[in-house]
Amino acid sequence: MANLASVVQQLKVARDRVQRQLDQLDQALQALGGVSGLRRRESGINKVVRTPRIISPAARRRIAAAQRARWAKWRAGKRAKGKA
């Protein structure tokens, strides 16, 4: 049982060391100011999340037009099957 306590103590020491390293990395990332497009969530778990992509209005119009064309093609095919 003493051996188990020793292992637990070693794991705690290793966790503390890794936590210090993570803190140093966080400080370095904050110094860079989010250059990579990734940001840390402020609340909850320290987790890296992607920033949302921004789509231009012109791109939205192109995507919407393409989707309308897909639906029109699908509806036309459905009507053709119904008449046959």
- Residue pLDDT, tens place only, 34-77: 555 555 555 555 666 778 889 999 999 999 999 999 999 999 98
Domain count, the chain: 2
pLDDT at position 26 is 87
Q: Are 47 and 41 in contact (CB under 8 A)?
A: yes
Q: What is the C-alpha separation between 43 and 83, in angstroms, rounded?
A: 58
Domain, as residue range, for 2? 1-32
- Helix (H) / strand (E) containing 49: strand 48-50
Paired tokens of 24: 């140093």
pLDDT at 84 over 60: no
- Whether residue 44 lies inside any domain: the answer is no
Q: Which of 11, 15, 19 is nearest to 3 (CA)?
A: 11
Its pTM stands at 0.37
- Whether residue 21 lies inside any domain: the answer is yes
Paired tokens of 40: 């840390």
pLDDT in tens, 1-39: 678 889 999 999 999 999 999 999 888 888 887 555 555
- Whether residue 39 lies inside any domain: the answer is no
